[in-house]
Structure 1
């Protein structure tokens, strides 16, 4: 029934053992000070290395790229050493792992940025958006984001350089590739979507201009690590963190065509996955498939059956299972044999220790 998920697949230079992806999920367990990946995180990812592909939680490319307390970075020597623990643990179990490179843009707060004002495409505050902060004085907790500063062209050039260096750092840390986070309302998405970009220079206004930063960042990642080791995550219909596009089908088919021109390994589509969310129309998925010829990953409200169907009907090549991976370290095995899935504890998703991270057991018959 779920056979399609267990066919091998080639992704860039890699032969993957199955088509199940562990997608990026923020868990906020990095060691402090310094947002450094640690042994606890290495154990967590190693437990889940039976996925065909693991994409790391979002990892900030610079101090200004950070949106939430306790998330890991990939810009310091200590962070690179910490990630080596993780990649070595995953490789020891035969896993393949890409690093998700993350700049949150306006989805932040000065408490997470050493007092600096967040940056974005425009001086538009994300409405009804909160981030987790730790200012070292009160208990860590959620606060409203603040108004960002509109980036200058020099700011943009600096961020492009930071993405380039982060990709090189990821290779040094032992990752097999990198995924650009251009989804879910973070910096790249703030440039792409029409309602969050009010610029009047070459990075704003018409669709070609709004896609320019995406084009340039993908170009620099390909230059750093090679096209076969680059993926990009997009979220065409999500309104997470306040980004909305007036014509998402036109915008994201154009984005897919742009990614096709760069010959990257994969395009990763985050579908809206809250309870009563609208389905992504099949006509839209067909248009994305026509625009992009290499591996397409979908992640959202998938189970084994829905995932296999998406692969069998040609819309997807791989399927990401997010929250199911939290409580089911052996998720591929459970899907394959129809074993019941454990349910995660929402109270231990973010921050804390091993509880709710590495203590979920594998299935015992």
Structure 2
């Protein structure tokens, strides 16, 4: 008989956090059974041996050893082996809070047509109860939930195993592939016979180890950042149209998308290792992209204001970099330039 929940954990250089992660999974009380798949992704340290140690201690643990293929490859390997009613992802430096899976399963039982997602905490000592309110939001809340930082990651969600049979992470991406995976899952929900909704657990069920050292995939410099994100945002916007996100929710989403691309172009000027002239050419190319120019036209039709609108529209690299650096360093210049831009539109555009 298949277990109720299978937790898939990609493992790479996790000697200092793996025990805490696995203990947090195996200590969960799950009616219907639990399994944990540890995928050693060619880790050069003792992580692989630690995985084997856990498998010897607990029959609910299964281990896959593979060559280093990246986190998407590791999760896909776990999906190939997983056979459970529900699937949960967890990173090896994170942890499930006590009672997390029980709370998620209870929410799913009470809201069978919902996609169960939950909040998370970055405070390891957070003792907030995992029992709490469940807010049911329509599928059209997709944009708002994305802006609330609840959509773009795979590890705060309860997935139906039957819908994941053919679904895999795109190993061609090194950035934003998690969002692609979640949007692919939502597309499967859209193809179902019954309308669906989000069931959002307000309690933080996952402890997320927020890396601020600059060594994680989310904080290090990506050479192709401004090439990748337009593709992700195009898919996100298409999903928003499919679930009929209301126009008032699209305004902040489009502002956020412009901010990501504008600050990505500024990051090229700040961190790209190329000579100065090539950095400027690369940043200018990012501002000239077809998707970004179409976003600006959309925002003009919406009368939607962003502090970055004019610098990007003008393709003024000096102004863009100055604004982005002022914001990054929390200098008052950013606020002054923001309001100056707003007044240039005579207050006729909608801002946050």
Q: TM-score, normalised by structure 1?
A: 0.30
Choose between structure 1 and 2: higher helix proportion: 2
Structure possessing the higher relative contact order (Cα contacts under 8 Å, 6 or more residues apart): 1
TM-score (norm 2): 0.31
Structure of larger gyration radius: 2
